[in-house]
């Protein structure tokens, strides 16, 4: 099975999310970066599918050249090949991101993919649409919010996809090739091994430059949400605080 996983490089903020002076981005001078949690599960799932059924995992990221860091992390997890779609430093709108991914997939067209995995939404911008736009452009079926993937059918040519909804679980059966947008909880991603990291560090990435046209949604500025919370009321220290805690629980009607 040939699997493509699309991942995004996102800041890993702590408790505060600092902004740049022009309010166009998160100020990442003092922050690390990571693969979005949904996409990390997508990489893990792809590696497991290929371990079970054979084939290759290709991982793709669009953005500045620094996305190589996230591609190498995915390679260290067990992906076979990394594709960097170099779209420059500026944040792309979701139509432009989808165009960049579609361009890259068409460039790689010599080996068509059986399965294309996306995160359900990115951890930073959260537009909830890039995977669907790419699938639609490529004529692939796609279902979002997926938390379970099983290969199905005698010929292994269908996938059984599960997703959580408020009332329980919905099941979809889709023919390959297909796309799916997955959520964290699909699996527990592995930590890369040391040999995996060493191999990933030396791996050659395929770079595809692309300058997408802007779509119809234009970011003007980012803002911190207004927070008018007052400082916490400290009820006490250690076990001695228990009576004060239960007083509050009674006041709130919790006991």
Partner 1 sequence: MLLTVVDEQPGSLDTLGMARTIGTPVAAVAFGTAADGAKLADELVKHGVGTLHLISHELLTDYAPEAFGEALAQLIARLRPEGVIATGDDRGAEVMAQAAARARLPLATQCVSVTGGDPWQLTRIRGGGMLLEDAELTAATKLITVAPGAAGAAEISEVRAVDECVVEAFTPELAPELARTRVVARTTRGDGVSLATAEVVVSGGRGVGSAAGYAVLEELAGLLGGAVGCSRVATNNGWRPHSDQVGLTGTKISPKLYIACGISGATQHWVGCMDAAAILAVNTDPEAPMVTRATYAVIGDVHDVLPAVVAEIRARAGPRR
Residues 44-83 within binding reach of partner 1 (CB under 8 A): none
Rounded Cα distance, 229 and 47, in Å: 44
Size of the site for partner 1 (CB under 8 A): 80
Nearest in space to 118 (alpha carbons), one of 181, 212, 31: 181
Considering only residues 171 to 210 of the shown chain, the ones binding partner 1 according to CB under 8 A are: 171-175, 183-185, 188
**b/e for 236-248, b at 16 or more Cβ within 10 A?**
eeeeeeeeeeeee
Site for partner 1 contains 9 (CB under 8 A): no
Rounded Cα distance, 161 and 103, in Å: 27
Q: Are the beta carbons of 41 and 185 closer than 8 angstroms?
A: yes
Site for partner 1 contains 30 (CB under 8 A): no
Residue 221 C-beta: closest distance to partner 1, Å? 5
Q: Pick the stretch among 42-50, 73-81, 124-132, 202-210 that binds partner 1 (CB under 8 A).
A: 124-132
Q: Are the beta carbons of 5 and 59 closer than 8 angstroms?
A: yes
Site for partner 1 contains 155 (CB under 8 A): no
Compare residues 170 and 209 and give the one whose CB is closer to partner 1: 170
Compare residues 67 and 142 and give the one whose CB is closer to partner 1: 142
Compare residues 42 and 84 and give the one whose CB is closer to partner 1: 42
Instruction: Give me the helix-helix angle, 194-202 and 68-77, nearest 10°.
Output: 140
Q: Output the CA–CA distances (angstroms, integers) from residue 66 to 25, 207, 233, in the order listed.
A: 16, 12, 44
Compare residues 32 and 65 and give the one whose CB is closer to partner 1: 32
Site for partner 1 contains 115 (CB under 8 A): no
Out of 66, 150, 170, 211, point to the residue binding partner 1 (CB under 8 A): 170
Question: Which tokens in the block code for residue 239?
Answer: 């076990």
Site for partner 1 contains 90 (CB under 8 A): no
Compare residues 74 and 99 and give the one whose CB is closer to partner 1: 99
Out of 88, 141, 148, 196, point to the residue binding partner 1 (CB under 8 A): 141
Instruction: Indicate the DSSP class of residue 197.
Output: H
Question: Residue 235: which residues within 8 A CB-CB, separation 6 or more?
Answer: 241, 244, 245, 248
Residue 242 C-beta: closest distance to partner 1, Å? 4
Site for partner 1 contains 27 (CB under 8 A): no
Site for partner 1 contains 29 (CB under 8 A): no
Q: Are the beta carbons of 196 and 77 closer than 8 angstroms?
A: yes
Site for partner 1 contains 152 (CB under 8 A): no
Site for partner 1 contains 21 (CB under 8 A): no
Rounded Cα distance, 219 and 36, in Å: 21
């Amino acid at each position: 099975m040939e699997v493509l996983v699309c991942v995004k490089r996102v800041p890993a903020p702590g408790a505060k999310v600092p902004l740049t002076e022009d309010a166009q981005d998160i100020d990442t001078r003092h922050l690390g970066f990571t693969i979005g949690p949904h996409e990390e599960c997508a990489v893990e799932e792809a590696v497991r599918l290929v371990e079970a059924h054979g084939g290759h995992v290709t991982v793709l990221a669009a953005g500045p050249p620094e996305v190589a860091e996230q591609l190498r992390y995915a390679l260290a997890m067990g992906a076979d090949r990394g594709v960097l779609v170099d779209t420059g430093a500026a944040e792309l709108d979701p139509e432009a991101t989808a165009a960049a991914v579609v361009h890259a997939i068409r460039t790689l067209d010599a080996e068509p993919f059986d399965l294309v995995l996306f995160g359900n939404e990115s951890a930073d911008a959260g537009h909830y649409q890039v995977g669907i736009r790419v699938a639609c452009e490529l004529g692939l079926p796609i279902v979002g919010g997926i938390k379970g993937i099983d290969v199905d059918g005698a010929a292994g040519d269908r996938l059984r996809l599960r997703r959580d909804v408020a009332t329980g679980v919905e099941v979809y059966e889709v023919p390959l090739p297909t796309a799916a947008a997955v959520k964290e909880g699909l699996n527990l991603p592995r930590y890369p091994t040391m040999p995996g990291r060493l191999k990933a560090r030396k791996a050659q990435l395929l770079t595809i430059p692309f300058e997408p046209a802007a779509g119809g949604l234009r970011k003007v500025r980012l803002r911190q949400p207004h927070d008018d919370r007052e400082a916490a009321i400290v009820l006490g220290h250690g076990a001695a605080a228990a009576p004060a805690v239960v007083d509050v629980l009674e006041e709130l009607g919790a006991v």
